[in-house]
Chain A
Amino acid sequence: MFAETPQVRRKLRQEAVAKWVLSAMAASMIIPLLLIVGYVVIRAWPSLSLGFLVEMPTNNMRDGGVWPALIGTIYLVVLSLAVSAPIGVLAAVYLNEYARDNWLNRLINMAVINLAGVPSIVHALFGLGAFVYAARFGYSIISASLTLAVMTLPVIIASTREALASVPRSFREACWNVGATRWQTIRAVVLPNSISGILTGLILQVSRAAGETAPIMFTGAVFFKSIPRGTPLPYGLHESCMALSMHLFTLATQVPDVKESVPFATALVLLASVLLVNAAAISLRVFLRSRKRW
């Protein structure tokens, strides 16, 4: 009854080929990651030590560590997210839960989409004009953080809207039917059930903010800055700072006769912190998913 006709055989062959090709493509994604990480680790090996993390650069940045750059990057990321996360999430809640289809909201939508497509170097110029000069924040951590915040905002809005839209409309209708206001509905049902997606979107922007060089180079990051040891908050907000991405660029292009392993070790610190944050994002997502309630 289930005879293997030529037609059936062809179908099975197609199925096997499709599966093989698709899985090969997916598996090929592992190769660049392994190559990048492996290459960086091997080249950075001679300079790797705990001291590299917590020491000042010495000898015109040819020796020593990346401490001020690491701290500077943490400053920039935390401050920029402190601005862009609340604004982005709340704006997305408005756009997804309240906004009706009128010209104003279409305009907002268009602004968000286009802002997400602006290259980071243009954000850098905007930050220079708006925050460094017009707002008179000067060449400082504040200007650089705000520039990064403007750059990450549209992506945060987009990812948050997607997370909110994944909550079924029937939940909202059930709430409205028993006399809940929109805000009560959002607080009780919509936000708790989209929080994992929202957080994932936010944390992915952390690694983006940490990695960008152009926006901070124009607005607040310097080649070298000595910071005092032993205080938890060594930078003032109106000072300029060092940053890992910028430091890497400097070492690789501006410093002659630098030991080869130093820029690679810097790259590894940047890569490791970004991967660490991504791993945190994934585990947080897994944790929140496990509590997903429908």
Chain B
Amino acid sequence: MSQPHIVVQDLTLAYGPKEVIHGISFQVQRHEIFGVIGPSQSGKTSLLRCLNRTIDFCAEASVAGAITVNGQDVRHVKDVYGLRRRIGMVAPLPVGLPLSIYDNVAFAPRCAGLTKTSQLDGLVEHCLRQAALWEEVKDRLHSLGTKLSGGQQQRLTIARALSHQPEILCLDEFSIAIDPVTTMRIEDVLKELRRHVTIILVTNLTQQARRLADRTMFLWSGKIVELDRSEVVFSEHPANRKTYDYVNGIFG
């Protein structure tokens, strides 16, 4: 492997006086699926918000330590909007913006300044196909995105996250609001995407991380308990006993 895609160095995050991430360091390789598991309150979502700097919108948050993407420190990025477009983000609950399906996907490219209808048309179709939604919505692209079912909205959210052609895709517990069939379809999509995109997969479903992730990081209370190849993390003998207990549901 060449230079790592993302390097996190001594990342510490506090909301006001409450520290939620306690100096963690890890690297994500280019075009791998990087699984992050851990119970709620372990800092998984906050970690993603530091990565694309939407943590800036949270006034009381203070971040220390460095996150570099392609060797560039995200804290010193001038064009933070450009940074966010390099990182696709999918939230736990599907958010169809109250716009048409087409506009939901075209929103990010338009914000970036792309206005040519011919280019947008192609891009929208491409993203909807990537998110396995095109066949279901191609005849009603101009109806409301919010009228779609939950599973469809989640795929719409993924299409929107892909619309700005990110090099990193972060999925934050994307499957908690959708059915198993749709989940499997999206997992297939992810396997396809990983050929040209680095994927960070935050999940509560340890099985999902086992199925998809090349390497998995087990976060607990803002600290890394274990980070290794998924075969090891999910094996009978991970380095840390806690990991085995968590993965097998004996934890706590």
Contact = CB atoms under 8 A, between A and B. Distances in A.
Interface of A: 100-101, 170-171, 173-181, 184, 188-189, 192-193, 292-294
B97 A189 contact: yes
A174 B92 CA distance: 11
Given A100-B59, A101-B59, A173-B54, A179 B111 contact: yes
B97 A175 contact: yes
Given A174-B157, A177-B84, A189-B99, A294 B146 contact: yes
Given A181-B81, A293-B146, A294-B146, A176 B57 contact: yes
A174 B111 contact: no
Interface string B81-124: 11111001101010111110000000110011000000000000
Given A179-B108, A180-B81, A181-B111, A174 B160 contact: yes
Give the most central of A100, A178, A179, A294: most B CB within 10 Å.
A178
A178 B107 contact: yes
Nearest to B57: A176
B48 to A, nearest CB: 9
Contacts of B99: 188-189, 293
Contacts of B157: 174
Contacts, number: 71
Interface in B56-77: 57, 59
A193 B161 CA distance: 22
A188 B81 CA distance: 16
18 contacts: A173-B54, A174-B95, A174-B97, A175-B97, A176-B54, A176-B84, A177-B161, A179-B82, A179-B84, A179-B108, A179-B112, A180-B111, A181-B81, A181-B111, A184-B111, A188-B99, A293-B144, A294-B98
Contact of A179 (B81, B93, B97, B146): B81
Contacts of B59: 100-101
Given A177-B89, A178-B161, A178-B164, 6 more contacts: A171-B95, A177-B52, A178-B163, A179-B82, A179-B112, A181-B81
Interface string B132-176: 000000000000101000000000010011011000000000000
A42 to B, nearest CB: 49
Contacts of A171: 95, 97-98
B149 to A, nearest CB: 14
A58 to B, nearest CB: 56
Contacts of B95: 170-171, 173-174
Contacts of B84: 176-179
Contacts of A293: 98-99, 144, 146
Contacts of A294: 96, 98, 146
Given A178-B161, A179-B84, A293-B146, A173 B97 contact: no
